[in-house]
């Protein structure tokens, strides 16, 4: 069951969704031939996990939770560095 926007904001220590930035977590090794199949399957499983960031605090969120945060006013970035 997805967490509510209120719950995620509480984890991050803010009440303002506009202060939160969400971004896809970087997959590593998904196209590296030296990475074994088991590790590659874990990367695929993480493909739909997003980071939600407020200052120095970050939480991982599902795609549905990310959509709810954006609908509430969070900013979407293309990567953790954006």
What is the residue-level pLDDT of the chain in tens, covering all 82 positions? 889 999 999 999 999 999 999 998 765 445 566 667 777 676 666 667 888 989 888 899 988 999 999 999 999 998 777 6
User: What are the tokens at 45?
Assistant: 């499983």
pTM of the model: 0.73
């Amino acid at each position: 069951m997805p967490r509510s926007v209120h719950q995620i904001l509480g984890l991050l220590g803010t009440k303002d969704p506009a202060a939160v930035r969400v971004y896809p977590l970087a997959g590593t090794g998904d196209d590296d031939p030296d990475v074994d199949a088991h590790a590659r399957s874990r990367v695929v499983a993480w493909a739909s996990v997003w980071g939600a960031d407020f200052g120095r605090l970050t939480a991982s969120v599902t795609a549905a939770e990310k959509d709810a945060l954006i609908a509430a006013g969070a900013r979407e970035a293309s990567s953790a560095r954006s």
